[in-house]
Every structure is written in C-alpha cells, then in structure tokens.
Amino acid sequence: MTGYVLSQLRALEAESIHIIREVAAEMQRPCLLFSGGKDSVVMSVLAQKAFAPARIPFPFMHVDTGLNFPEVIAFRDWWMEQLEVQLVVASVPDAIERGLVQEEPNGSRNRIQTPVLLDAAEQHRFDALFGGARRDEEKARAKERVFSFRDDFGQWDPKNQRPELWNLYNGRVFSGESIRVFPLSNWTELDTWAYIEAEDIPLPNLYYAQERDVVKRDGMLYAVNEFVVPKDGEEIRRMRVRYRTMGDANLTAAVESDAETNEAIVAEIAAARLTERGATRGDDRVSEAAMEDRKKEGYF
C-alpha cells in the first residue's frame, strides 16, 4: 500500500491548494498579499497550480512601504507578468502624503503599513486576503487559524477565534468584515525551501549569497545600501551574505552564508539554529508580544 502515501511536501501542497480553492469558491472578492518574499512567491505558485490551466482568478496586492529593496520591486513586476495577474499597489509614501498615516520617529514603516493595507482592502472591498504567514514563524502565529476572522476594523481577537475542524473552513462574513487566509500555515521554513528547490521556483537574487559591504548593528549584519548608511564608528566589512527574509531594506539584516543555490540553502536551513525572524528582523525585537500586538491591529 505504500504506493498510496503522499510525501510530506506533496501533502502540504495538496492542503494549501485545497485552501486556496475554498476561498476562490466561497468568498466574493479575494486578494493575495504579495511581498516578493519567498513565502508569498511560494503561495503564488500554489495559486497558479490550484487553477491551472486557467489563470489565477483574483488580484494580488503589494503594500509598498517605499523602503523595499529595488531587486524585490523588479522581481515583483517581472513575476506578475509571468503569472498574468493584476497587481494592486498600496503605497505607504502616498498614504503619508495623504495624511492617512504619519512617519514614526524611528523610521520604521512596519507599524504604519497596517492602516495602509486596511484602507486599500476597504477601497477594493476585498473580503478575503491571502497571507504567506506560517505558524512556525512566531508563537502568536502558532495559534492562528487557517481562516482567520477580522472584524470591520481589521482586528484579530486571539481569544475569540472560530473553531476550525477537519478541512471544513468557515469563511462566512458580514459586509465590512473579512478573513485572512494562510495557506502555508503548516509549512516550516525548511519545507518552503525544499519546495522552492523541488519546483525550481524563481526568487529575488537577494536570497542567494553574494559579496556585500556590511556593517554590524545591534548584533546583526546590515548590507550597506541607500537605506542603510554606515554611522560613525561602524566598520564596513566585505562579507559573503544572503537574506533569509525580505522586509524593509533599512531594517532587514543579512546572514553570513556561502549558499548560492537552493540546494545549498536547504542544507544551511536544516543546520540553522536561529529562527529567520530572530536572526534578521529588527522589527520583531520590540517585545515578547510584538507580533501579537501588531496582528491584533490588522497586521499581516
């Protein structure tokens, strides 16, 4: 009978495709949140497979903080053409100009992108937003449902979540309310990379090791670019580094690595002893409950 067992990667793929199709079938106006990071790229590949040979039947949205790596924006535009999907860009700089949000004193746009996302979702009347979050990323996420209900303020109430049984998802909402859907809930970082390798999925080249000028800041390595200018006393070093996540260019650190191929990255992740967020994200270091607080407000 062993012939009728799916490998764990194919079982995860099947589950994700089931989830994506449920949303397309039951929700009025779904939209896929696309950041250009590997998880959203994997999610977009799963969406493509879910409806092939037809096109993906919903648009994508990118919340552009204005602080993206230029490589990510270039990749995004190229990938949208490959998938033939419509892209909605919700721009944080535009929202600052309109007075919807204000720049935070520390220069981080992590928190202020939430109102921009909610505003765009409301304008387009999206009732379901796909996100690439995984439960293994962070402990507040470990408890989030696959179909995660948001009230008409976009808020998540972790203590009052809908029970979620079998694969019988409940996406019913009233006007103004919405759900966030996480098709990659049960994937780990290693699964994501194993899938990228198995399917030969294209990614922004920042994920692969290159020699870069870096400075060490708060114990993390930041590549020098237009967003990261060395401060007085910071020593510039030339190192082989790659990125494990794609956040804002001013707050996303790189890790020392020689991994230039998907195969090498899979080996590196399998041996990694730091979470990807802990290793590279300045924005998660605020407090023990930083992610839970942002999620309650409507963060991804």
Partner 1 sequence: MSDLLRFATAGSVDDGKSTLIGRLLYDSKAIFIDQYEAVERVSTQRGDDYVDLALLTDGLRAEREQGITIDVAYRYFATPRRKFIIADTPGHPQYTRNMVTGASTADAALILVDARKGLTEQSRRHSFLATLLGVRHLVVCINKMDLVDFSQEVYDAIVDEFTSFASRLHVGDLEFIPISALAGDNVVTRSARTPWYDGPALLYHLEHLHVASDRNLSDVRFPVQYVIRPQSVKARDYRGYAGTVASGVIRAGDPIMVLPSGFTTTVAGIDTPNGEVPEAYPPMSVVLRLADEIDISRGDMLVRPNNQPTARQDLDLRVCWMDESAPLSAGRTLAIKHTTVWARVKIREVVYKVDVNTLHRDESAQQLELNEIGRVRMRASRPLFMDDYAENRATGAVILVDEATNRTVGAGFLA
Task: Please say whether the beta carbons of 41 and 206 come within 8 A.
Answer: no
Task: Please say whether the beta carbons of 95 and 117 come within 8 A.
Answer: no
157-174 in b/e form (b: 16+ CB < 10 A) is eeeeeeeeeeeebebebe
Residues 222, 208, 188: CA angle, nearest 5 degrees: 90
Q: How far is the CB of 272 from partner 1 (least distance, A)?
A: 7
Q: Please, which residue, 62 or 244, has the CB nearer to partner 1?
A: 244
Q: Please, which residue, 211 or 218, has the CB nearer to partner 1?
A: 218
Q: How far is the CB of 61 from partner 1 (least distance, A)?
A: 22
Q: How far apart are CA 286 and CA 291, in angstroms?
A: 9
Q: How far is the CB of 122 from partner 1 (least distance, A)?
A: 19
Q: Please, which residue, 116 or 290, has the CB nearer to partner 1?
A: 290
Q: How far is the CB of 188 from partner 1 (least distance, A)?
A: 5
Q: Please, which residue, 34 or 156, has the CB nearer to partner 1?
A: 156
Q: How far is the CB of 21 from partner 1 (least distance, A)?
A: 5
Q: Please, which residue, 33 or 220, has the CB nearer to partner 1?
A: 220
Task: Centre a 10 Å sphere on the Cβ of residue 37 and count the other Cβ atoms it contains.
Answer: 21
Q: Please, which residue, 170 or 205, has the CB nearer to partner 1?
A: 170
Positions touching partner 1 (CB under 8 A) are 1-2, 4-8, 10-15, 17-18, 21-22, 24-25, 46, 49-55, 135-136, 139-143, 158-159, 161-168, 170, 172-174, 185-186, 188, 190-191, 272-275, 278-279, 288-289, 292
Q: How far is the CB of 243 from partner 1 (least distance, A)?
A: 17
Task: Please say whether the beta carbons of 36 and 246 come within 8 A.
Answer: yes
Q: How far is the CB of 2 from partner 1 (least distance, A)?
A: 7
Three-class SS state of 275: coil
Q: Please, which residue, 16 or 262, has the CB nearer to partner 1?
A: 16
Amino acid at site 294: R
Q: How far apart are CA 61 and CA 76, in angstroms?
A: 11
Radius of gyration of the chain (CA): 19
Enumerate the β-bridge partners of residue 279.
Answer: none
Task: Please say whether the beta carbons of 253 and 290 come within 8 A.
Answer: no
Q: How far apart are CA 117 and CA 64, in angstroms?
A: 9
